[in-house]
Chain A
Amino acid sequence: MAENTLQAPAVSQEVAALRTSPVAHLADEMAAASVEGDRGVALREIPFLAQVGVRALPGTPSAAAVEAALGTSLPRRSGEVTGPAGRQVLWISPDEFLLVADPDSVDIAAGAAALGTGEEALPGSIMDLSANRTTLELSGPSARAVLEKGCHYDLHPSIFAAGTAVSTQLGPVPILLWKTDETTFRLLPRASFADYTVHWLLDAMSEFSAPEVP
């Protein structure tokens, strides 16, 4: 059954027009809650990024086939992100990775074919997980302060450098937290947690719209 899922035809124009992202209904609230200035923080959704789940152990023939198919090496340690902008691979566990790419830019069927089929198939998997998580982007000078209200990971720049990503929790929600530059974080909660995560963030952001209390 996996082959059928992977070889689904490209999304047609009509279907794409009907697609709704998990927090599309909160776009106005997110825009209204964004704050400019020294204490600024902004939240928006980056919908429909292509996400491909990869299972393969680096150093094995499976990983070599996957790396050839994706055109990117797999990260080797926690936090590492490999690949060019718009087509990056996040480390999730020693044998599990997530490719995050621009919408509709990945031919997953071709990637899955790289592992072979039938009895000759190499161990591992390449799976379309694009609908599994949505992407929220929290940016601005106060972004780290907002996350530190409930993130279980140490967000100090000496520990969490720009260009790295970790799997952790925000409040009770398991997320992938990806720091794309010094003041910009991408949060990837699962789609069913996205509504709650946005409301959590909007609440955490609200104090920054008022002047700082000395």
Chain B
Amino acid sequence: MLLIDCPNCGPRDETEYHYGGQAHVAYPEEPSTLTDSEWSRFLFYRQNPKGIFAERWNHAAGCRKWFNALRDTATYEIQAVYQMDEPRPDAVSPELAQAQHHAPEGGAQ
């Protein structure tokens, strides 16, 4: 069981949350100009990194607000939580920053 730190409510059990997939997938500026391939890439293509992953969570049993978290998919350690409108914070350690630097960014390409 993960203990996830809701930015509004504090630490709560994982069962109080719903998972929302990859964070920072921006809606296309001009959806009508996208090809089918580009549209499918926006809709369905997501990163699957081993290491730090920015993802969305919803505190369904508490404040019912969405927030973002940086989670290590290998260790399940949650490095940071931040509000939906905040930029992705830098990784907390130099090794993680390096790992992020080498990881491809973004879902919409």
Question: Which residues does A use to contact B, with CB under 8 Å?
Answer: 78, 92-94, 96, 152-154, 166-169, 174
Say yes or no: B61 contacts A152, CB within 8 Å.
yes
**Which residues of chain B are near A169, meaning CB under 8 Å?**
15-16, 61
Number of interface residues of B (CB under 8 A): 13
**Which residues of chain A are near B62, meaning CB under 8 Å?**
78, 93, 166-168
**Which residues of chain A are near B94, meaning CB under 8 Å?**
none
A16 CB to nearest B CB, Å: 33
Say yes or no: A152 contacts B15, CB within 8 Å.
yes
Q: B64 interface residue, CB < 8 Å from A?
A: yes
- In the complex, A169→B15 CA distance in Å? 9
Say yes or no: B16 contacts A93, CB within 8 Å.
no
- In the complex, A94→B62 CA distance in Å? 11
Say yes or no: B8 contacts A168, CB within 8 Å.
no
Question: Which residues does B use to contact A, with CB under 8 Å?
Answer: 8-13, 15-16, 61-65
Say yes or no: A153 contacts B8, CB within 8 Å.
no
Specify the chain A residue showing the minimal Cβ separation from B65: A93
- In the complex, A154→B9 CA distance in Å? 12
Q: Answer whether A168 and B16 are a contact pair too, CB < 8 Å, given A78-B8, A78-B10, A93-B8.
A: yes
- In the complex, A174→B15 CA distance in Å? 11
- In the complex, A153→B61 CA distance in Å? 11
- In the complex, A214→B62 CA distance in Å? 37
Partner of A94, one of B13, B61, B65: B65
Q: Answer whether A168 and B61 are a contact pair too, CB < 8 Å, given A93-B8, A94-B8.
A: yes
- In the complex, A188→B109 CA distance in Å? 47
Q: Answer whether A78 and B63 are a contact pair too, CB < 8 Å, given A93-B8, A166-B9, A169-B15.
A: yes
Specify the chain A residue showing the minimal Cβ separation from B11: A154
A179 CB to nearest B CB, Å: 15
A162 CB to nearest B CB, Å: 18
Ranked nearest first, the 7 interchain pairs of A and B with the lowest CB-CB distance are A93-B63, A152-B13, A78-B9, A169-B61, A167-B62, A174-B61, A93-B65
**Which residues of chain A are near B12, meaning CB under 8 Å?**
152-153, 168
Say yes or no: B61 contacts A93, CB within 8 Å.
no
- In the complex, A78→B11 CA distance in Å? 11
| Sample of 17 more A-B contacts, CB < 8 Å, known A78-B62, A152-B12 | A78-B9, A78-B10, A93-B8, A93-B65, A94-B65, A96-B63, A152-B15, A152-B16, A152-B61, A153-B12, A166-B9, A167-B62, A167-B63, A168-B62, A169-B15, A169-B16, A169-B61
B21 CB to nearest A CB, Å: 22
